[in-house]
Amino acid sequence: MRLTFIARTPDTKTKIAVAIGNTELPVGELQIDSLDTGWSSGRVALKAGLLLEVPLSKPGDNTFKVFAFDASGAPQPIEIDRVVITRTAATVDAIPASHTVRIEVLEKVGGPSILENLVREGDPLPKSGKLTLKAATSLKAGSREALRFKLWEGDIQNPISDNRPIGTFEIRGIDLEQGVIAAGADLELQWQMLDSGTISCEVSVPSVGGLFHSGRNFYSRQESQVDYGAAAKRVTEETETVLERVAEASERVTDPDLDLARRKLEEAKASSRDDRSAEGAKTADEKVQQAKRLLARVRENHLRDLRMAELDRIRQLFDVAVRRFAKPNEEAAFENLMATTEREIERPSFEGYVSDLRSKIFSILWRQDWFVVDQFRHLAERPYLFADSAEHAELTEAGEAAIRSNDVDKLRAILAELNSRRIGSSSDADLVNAVNVLVGR
């Protein structure tokens, strides 16, 4: 069996031809799924001259997975099971960006994280630009602290961590020869994205006369850049987490996208279970991303109901795990803020108040030694959440030494550093995190 298609076209739809040839194949049906949108052709009887029309939903690469089944419905291996068709710009020679790339920043000191666009899906590449940010915290030369610049791929507004993490560029205290980058100091981020999909970054800090380079290809869409073999456990864990979120949303609202998201996640589980290779992990990861996009659409369509559900979860967390550790003034402040947040449920300011609620919970738990130890153990046992395994091992060893010497303050510093280096962490989704650059406007 052979698949024939036009690899590059400006059209929004195209056709894939299926040639059977002269040999007899144990294949009775064929199915083509979009790995970008969740579209599926459904199972189609295989016959000579079969043409399947597929949608090209976005500029740039559109990726499809091909499945074959025998007469009994059992899956059958095929030589080429992945098709990539590029939707090109109709009137320009530049290659369009296939994904939106954005940087995470704080809306204000102590406020929620938001995403600032660098490249929008469909923008012609190469493209470069400058973005003025501000340091939300001070950074002293020689310290172990850092200013972090987190990049994400995707268009999901909330939670930010549902986008695909690209990476984190840091300016560390040890990168400074002398002086202090004060809170509020300008940070001039200059970036460039090539038509190959790679990104390079540099940050200039006028107040200290410093220029800091990412020192590497910051990001690439090339498949060879992603180690999906190492990511298999992370994808499996994430699949279960998103399934729980789908179940929680289903208790509040009815939406066909929830059923579709659940199916995508079950397919991800099956892919991880049946194919333990890097390819299986990649397929599962793509299914999980599709489910997250569906959840984002459900949230948009049922915003009030799901915001109420979010507040209920925050209330339950405070009542069950936090209230008994809160001081009277902290308890009163939480209740007042909760009442304010409920009144703002229809307004954009809601997200900021939710961020404040989480911050209050975190500040109470962060004082508790058991919480710090538990959070450290959680990350120490999950090396697959970190891109740099050697760094994870080094920080884990240092944390264990801090526990043995009963130095919880040192453990707190190690935990904060661990969490800042984990794949995909976001201040909107995790209690222990420190995005500390502000939007410059």
Structural domain span for residue 374: 324-422
143 and 38 in a common domain: no
Check residue 97 and report its DSSP letter: P
Lowest-pLDDT choice from 103-107, 165-169, 195-199, 380-384: 195-199
Segment (H or E) for 353? helix 350-365
Tell which wins on pLDDT, 436 or 154: 154
188 and 274 in a common domain: no
| Among candidate residues 382, 359, 429, 379, the one with its CA nearest the CA of residue 161 | 429
Domain annotation covers residue 311: no
176 and 118 in a common domain: yes
CA–CA separation, 53 and 1 (whole Å): 18
CA–CA separation, 266 and 246 (whole Å): 12
Domain end position, chosen among 224, 259, 291: 224
Q: Using the predicted structure, report yes or no on whether residue 218 has a pLDDT greater than 60.
A: no
Q: Using the predicted structure, report yes or no on whether residue 219 has a pLDDT greater than 50.
A: no
Q: Using the predicted structure, report yes or no on whether residue 227 has a pLDDT greater than 70.
A: no
Domain end position, chosen among 23, 53, 88: 88
Tens of pLDDT along 104-143? 988 877 677 888 988 888 888 888 888 889 998 899 988 8
110 and 220 in a common domain: yes
196 and 106 in a common domain: yes
Report pLDDT for 293.
93
141 and 259 in a common domain: no
Report pLDDT for 337.
96
Domain annotation covers residue 308: no
Domain annotation covers residue 264: yes
* Helix boundaries (H) for 200-349: 232-252, 256-274, 278-301, 303-317, 328-343
159 and 262 in a common domain: no
3-state percent helix, strand, coil for the chain, nearest multiple of 5: 40, 25, 35
220 and 101 in a common domain: yes
Tell me the backbone φ, ψ of residue 254, rounded to 5 degrees.
-115, 125
Tens of pLDDT along 56-82? 988 888 999 999 888 888 888 887 888
Report pLDDT for 89.
63
Pairing, β 8-9 against β 82-87:
parallel
Lowest-pLDDT choice from 22-31, 51-60, 162-171, 384-393: 22-31
Q: Residue 433: which pLDDT band, with cuts at 50, 70 and 90?
A: very low
Q: Using the predicted structure, report yes or no on whether residue 368 has a pLDDT greater than 80.
A: yes
Give Cα 402 to chain centroid, integer Å: 31
Report pLDDT for 226.
46
Report pLDDT for 225.
42
CA–CA separation, 341 and 354 (whole Å): 7
Domain annotation covers residue 27: yes
- Counting the structural domains of the chain, the total is 4
Cβ-contact 242, 291 below 8 angstroms = yes
333 and 268 in a common domain: no
Percent of the chain with pLDDT over 70: 86
195 and 129 in a common domain: yes
Q: Using the predicted structure, report yes or no on whether residue 439 has a pLDDT greater than 70.
A: no
Q: Output the domain CATH number for residue 209.
A: 2.60.34.10
Report pLDDT for 222.
36
The angle, 0 to 180 degrees and rounded to 10, between the axes of the packed helices 328-343 and 350-365 is 160
CA–CA separation, 339 and 337 (whole Å): 5
Sign of CA dihedral 293, 298, 303, 304: negative
Q: Residue 224: which pLDDT band, with cuts at 50, 70 and 90?
A: very low
Average pLDDT of span 272-276: 74
Domain annotation covers residue 275: yes
Domain annotation covers residue 198: yes
Report pLDDT for 259.
96
36 and 104 in a common domain: no
Q: Which residues of 152-168 are buried (b: 16+ CB within 10 A; e: fewer)?
A: bbbebbbbbbbbbbbbb
217 and 123 in a common domain: yes
Cβ-contact 43, 31 below 8 angstroms = yes
Report pLDDT for 95.
66
Q: Output the domain CATH number for residue 58.
A: 2.60.40.730
CA–CA separation, 18 and 27 (whole Å): 12
Domain annotation covers residue 135: yes
Query: Long-range CB contacts (< 8 A, 24+ apart) of 114-121?
Result: 114/439, 115/152, 115/157, 115/160, 115/163, 116/439, 118/151, 118/191, 118/193, 118/199, 119/193, 121/58, 121/59, 121/60, 121/96, 121/97, 121/155
Q: Using the predicted structure, report yes or no on whether residue 248 has a pLDDT greater than 50.
A: yes
CA–CA separation, 133 and 185 (whole Å): 8
- When the pLDDT of each residue in the chain is averaged and rounded to a whole number, the result is 83
CA–CA separation, 210 and 178 (whole Å): 10
Report pLDDT for 385.
83
CA–CA separation, 143 and 178 (whole Å): 11
Q: Residue 440: which pLDDT band, with cuts at 50, 70 and 90?
A: low
**How far from 234 is each of 36, 54, 138, 229, CA to CA, in Å?**
20, 31, 33, 10
Domain annotation covers residue 435: no
